[in-house]
Structure 1
Amino acid sequence: MIQRIQTVYMLISAILIGLLFSLPFAEIAHESMLYSFNIKGIVYQGTVTENGMAIAGLIGIILLLHVAAIFLYKKRILQIRSLVLAILLNAGLFGMFYFFTYYSFDNAEISFKVSVVFPLVSIILDYLAIRAIGKDEALIRSMDRIR
């Protein structure tokens, strides 16, 4: 299982998505107040101004899809489908990051952190994993044809 390159891609992607639970996404400066945007939502001095439960739930679902895909190594087609769903949800997560930051405040200075690009890196790694799984599937089917 771990000796396959697609498993390494999925594992790295799962680790990146898991890191989103602990890292901040952005800092927002609005009217001389500094807000923090993290998994809880948009927070100002410990109080939540915008709830981020939708983002937390979406990150949890994406993480579960990656973990499930790692253990579905015997069912390659289902593995590909779960990774395609994870790619779509990652794109939605990336959109939600920008929606939360720009929807909440007008004329605010936003400083995004490096963790915002983790969904994009995860999309690239998932695509590479899908390609490798497709090659494995083609190899298995060609061997079945020879028999």
Structure 2
Amino acid sequence: MLQRIQTIYLLLVVIVNGALPFWVYLWTDANGAAVYAESDVLYSALFIASAILAFITIFLFKNRKNQFVLNRLNMILNLFLLGFFVYRSLVLSGEINISEKGIGMLLPVVSIVFLVLANRAIKKDEDLVKSVDRLR
């Protein structure tokens, strides 16, 4: 059952969190140099953990409840990552005026949207299976 729509959404999360943070810059520092996810261990570890969790979730198609729970856990992980970005951009001294935020800071938001869409599709499948079981 890998041909379901939630598999596509989860593959998009794997791409967004596994590859894009290392190609698009997260922000530029005071010197104008682009900062990527690989320059900070915390950011790269959280992006890779989210991508691995989404990849593992793809193959749990037989157990939709575990798939749903792991997607929610992945959403929480992406919210932490987004929180770290907000903290870094707003609290650190001088960062509001000096650095420029990149498109990479929006990657957790994009992956959260895809995870929500995947959870909606999983819920729809679960409801369909429950309705068919009532007919038997």
Structure 1 and Structure 2 fold alike (TM over 0.5): yes
Question: What amino acid is aligned across from residue 35 of structure 2 in structure 1?
Answer: F
Name 2:87's counterpart in structure 1: 99
Which residues in structure 2 correspond to 1:82-97 (within 5 Å)? 82-97=70-85
- Partner in structure 1 of residue 103 of structure 2: 114
Q: Which of the pair is proportionally richer in helix?
A: 2
Residue matched to 1:145: 134
Task: Tell me how far apart the structure 2 counterparts of residues 103 and 60 of structure 1 sit (CA, whole Å).
Answer: 25
Deviation string, structure 1 residues 57-89 (Cα, Å, up to 9, x no partner): 111110111001111111100000110011111
8 Å CA contact 1:91–1:119 kept in 2: the answer is yes
Aligned to 2:27: 26
Alignment deviations for residues 32-66 of structure 1 (CA, whole Å, 9 cap, x no partner):
x334322233xxxxxxxxxx211111111101110
The structure with more strand, counted as a fraction of residues:
1
Contact 2:75 2:115 in 1 (8 A): yes
What secondary structure, in the 3-state scheme, does the structure 1 residue paired with 2:32 have? Answer: strand
Structure 1: distance between partners of 2:91 and 2:48? 23
How far, CA to CA, are the matches of 2:118 and 2:76 in structure 1? 15
Larger relative contact order (Cα-Cα within 8 Å, sequence gap ≥ 6): 2
2:17 and 2:47 in contact (8 A); partners too: yes
Mapped contact 1:9–1:125 kept (Cα < 8 A): yes
Write the distance in 2 (CA, Å) between the matches of 1:128 and 1:40.
28
**Match for residue 38 of structure 1 among 31, 36, 39:** 36
**In angstroms, what is the RMSD of aligned CA positions?**
1.7
TM-score by length of 2: 0.88
- Work out the CA distance in 2 between the residues paired with 1:103 and 1:36: 20
Between the aligned partners of 1:76 and 1:22, the Cα distance in structure 2 is 33
Normalised TM-score (structure 1):
0.82
Percentage of pairs with the same residue: 33
Q: Tell me how far apart the structure 2 counterparts of residues 40 and 69 of structure 1 sit (CA, whole Å).
A: 24
Q: Is the 8 A contact 2:24 2:103 kept in 1?
A: no
Q: After superposition, what is the alpha-carbon deviation per residue over 1:86-135, rounded to whole angstroms, capped at 9, x for unaligned?
A: 11111111111232344444253221222221110111111011011001
Q: C-alpha distance in 1, partners of 2:66/2:41?
A: 28
Tell me if the contact between 1:5 and 1:129 (Cα under 8 Å) persists in the aligned partners. yes
Equivalent position SS for 1:73: coil
Higher Cα Rg, which structure:
1
